[in-house]
Amino acid sequence: MNSPSTTITLGVVALDCPDPYALATFYGELLGWRIAEGDQPGDRWVDLVNPDGGTGIAFQQDPDYQPPTWPSNERAQMLHLDFTVPSIDAEHQRVLDLGARLLDDTPETFRVYADPAGHPFCLCAA
């Protein structure tokens, strides 16, 4: 096995979607992050800036985007994001109000939602 590289770092996680600015707005409000200066509605690529300087999230326009059908594998998810929260119950209504849709609330330590473009994400208990 090779030793880990000290020159490669994760710069961004990019999600395909039909409207990058709209999805960046959703995640920006969810996380309290800002959209990169100069990015605007109609752009094909929009960056969400991590205020702590860590890995950001980007949104890339894909006009043929089809959301995953989780939990069915008809159109399997390629990736999902997990967000740690002090209280899932305290954040539940807020994420719904931002435009998320509840997919599964049966696990005790996390809940699965879909963002407005249909990407699954989880709120996980701290």
Structural contact between residues 96 and 102, judged by C-beta atoms closer than 8 angstroms: yes
Condensed to tens digits (0 to 9), the pLDDT of residues 34-61 reads 999 999 999 999 999 999 999 999 999 9
Per-residue pLDDT tens over the stretch 59-78: 999 999 999 888 888 888 88
Whether the per-residue pLDDT at 14 is higher than 70: the answer is: yes
The Cα–Cα gap between 107 and 94 comes to 19
CA–CA separation, 60 vs 18, rounded Å?
8
Q: How far is CA 40 from CA 6, 8, 24, 54, 89, in A?
A: 34, 29, 10, 22, 33
CA 108/CA 80 separation, integer angstroms:
19
120-125: strand order across its sheet: 81-85, 120-125, 110-114, 101-104
Domain coordinates in residue numbering, the chain: 10-65, 66-126
CATH topology identical between 10-65 and 66-126: yes
- Let me know the angle formed at the C-alpha of 122 by 119 and 124, rounded to the nearest 5 degrees: 170
Overall average pLDDT of the 82-105 stretch: 96
pLDDT score, position 62: 96
Report, as an integer, the average pLDDT of 77-102.
Answer: 94
Overall average pLDDT of the 6-26 stretch: 92
| CATH superfamily, domain at 10-65 | 2,3-Dihydroxybiphenyl 1,2-Dioxygenase, domain 1 (3.10.180.10)
Mean pLDDT taken over the chain: 93
pTM across the whole model: 0.88
Residue type, 98: L
CATH fold, domain 66-126, is: 2,3-Dihydroxybiphenyl 1,2-Dioxygenase; domain 1 (3.10.180)
CA distance 71 to 23: 21
Torsion, Cα 60 63 68 73, to 10 degrees, reads -120
